Amino acid sequence: MNDRLYIDVHILQTVPPANLNRDDNGNPKEAYFGGKRRSRVSSQAWKRATRIHFAESRDPQDLGTRTKRIAAQLTNGIAASTGLPAEDAGRIADALVKETGISAGKKEGDTAYLLFYGRRQLDGIVDLVAGSAAELAALDAKALAEAVKALPVKEQLQSGHPADVALFGRMVADVPGLNVDAATQVAHAISTHATELEFDYYTAVDDENTAGETGAGMIGTIGFNSATLYRYATIGLHQLRDNLGDDKATVDAVDLFVDSFARSMPTGYGNSFAHRTRPSLVAVVVRADQPVNLVSAYENPVPASHGIVAESARRLAAEFTTATEQWGDTPLYVGICHTLGTGTDETAQELTEAFGTNRTFTELRDGLSATLTERVNGN
């Protein structure tokens, strides 16, 4: 597959009072857009939530992990595979990590930064030494270092990427050969309307207070806001195909991302606010030109008096239609799933005119997968 292809995902989601993603003061993150303060959830927060959700539909062993403790993970794998004592397995693991060229961290056994790799990639490194582990453990440090130089350790991290590493990429500054170009970009989610920071003043009563004792055992405040968020992400199908090396795995990875991106939610202060909601609208657009973020629909904030989510949906439809007509870039596929009325409802009509017939989320994903399968197969 040589053609450049992009899958844009547009989501409108209303969140009740919450603190999804904290700033350095513990308050919800914010941004100014169109001259007005908006609620914001960082792209990093929603990418992590998406990655965590992957494990609900995939075997975690088929996914990646991000950690500084690759040496400890290797030690456990070598010990479990060979029966070596932890000390001997640890020596071999340290030598293998050093062979990759990844910088050591300040804490013994840690790398200098978080490394994102597939669990099966790590299993492949364990397999490199499983048959000769006893002999390697008997070598002194210098001889062990020489012995592992002959092993294709880096190659195990350069191929066989799991879907999440292929989607989100990996940067290893001091070993460029281990870099994986991300196939996905995720925007910071922002509210379609102006927001104000509020505070929940709370007290906690000591259950063991005697009858004569009064007052709270603890007093505090939590910052929060509520918002209808516009969320956007895009996937470069061509880059994802390069990272995975397989057509079916590429289409499956797109479906996995769309499903988890739509269903996931950052968990900040989840016990305090129970803020979990589902999107009111998910639209996907397959383009051959470039990714197009439609956030400009909300440069002028939606007024609170209009029914925010419905007005936000109408603006999204208008922005998409105008952008398509003015630039002349007809998408290859457009699909939508929403909960904003049916039939003669004004909002539903405008959404249908822009994005087509409303579908269930399963139908939306199936239609997208069928379109992408045709493209990657060259039909």
168-197, pLDDT tens digit by residue? 999 998 888 999 999 999 999 999 999 999
Return the amino acid letter for 210: T
pLDDT of residue 254: 98
232-281, pLDDT tens digit by residue? 999 999 999 999 999 999 999 999 999 999 999 999 888 888 899 999 99
Q: Tokens for 7?
A: 């899958």
Return the amino acid letter for 133: A
CA-derived radius of gyration, the chain: 25
Closest CA to 286 of 12, 9, 11, 2: 9
CB 125 within 8 A of CB 206: no
Rounded CA separation 148/133 (Å): 11
CB 326 within 8 A of CB 363: no
pLDDT of residue 21: 92
pTM over 0.95: no
Q: Tokens for 350?
A: 């405008």
Total residues found in the chain within this entry:
379
pLDDT of residue 223: 87
DSSP character for 109? T
- Distances in Å between the Cα of 263 and the Cα atoms of 48, 52, 115, 116, 289 are 13, 11, 26, 23, 28
Residues 6+ apart with CB under 8 A from 185: 233, 234, 291
Q: What is the mean pLDDT of each run of 10 residues along the chain (379 residues)?
A: 86 95 92 96 96 92 92 93 92 91 85 90 93 91 91 92 95 90 97 92 75 73 92 97 95 97 93 92 96 97 89 96 91 95 84 96 96 83
Residue 142's CB is within 10 A of a number of other CB atoms, namely 8
- Distances in Å between the Cα of 280 and the Cα atoms of 16, 255, 318, 334 are 13, 19, 17, 17
DSSP character for 217? S
Give 224-280 as a 3 state SS string: EEEEEEEEEEEEEHHHHHHHHCCHHHHHHHHHHHHHHHHHCCCCCCHHHHCCCCCCC
CB 118 within 8 A of CB 58: no
Rounded CA separation 66/121 (Å): 13
Rounded CA separation 207/95 (Å): 54
Q: Tokens for 351?
A: 């959404």
Rounded CA separation 171/112 (Å): 13
Nearest-10 Cα torsion for 273, 277, 280, 283: 120
Return the amino acid letter for 71: A
Closest CA to 38 of 197, 144, 164: 197
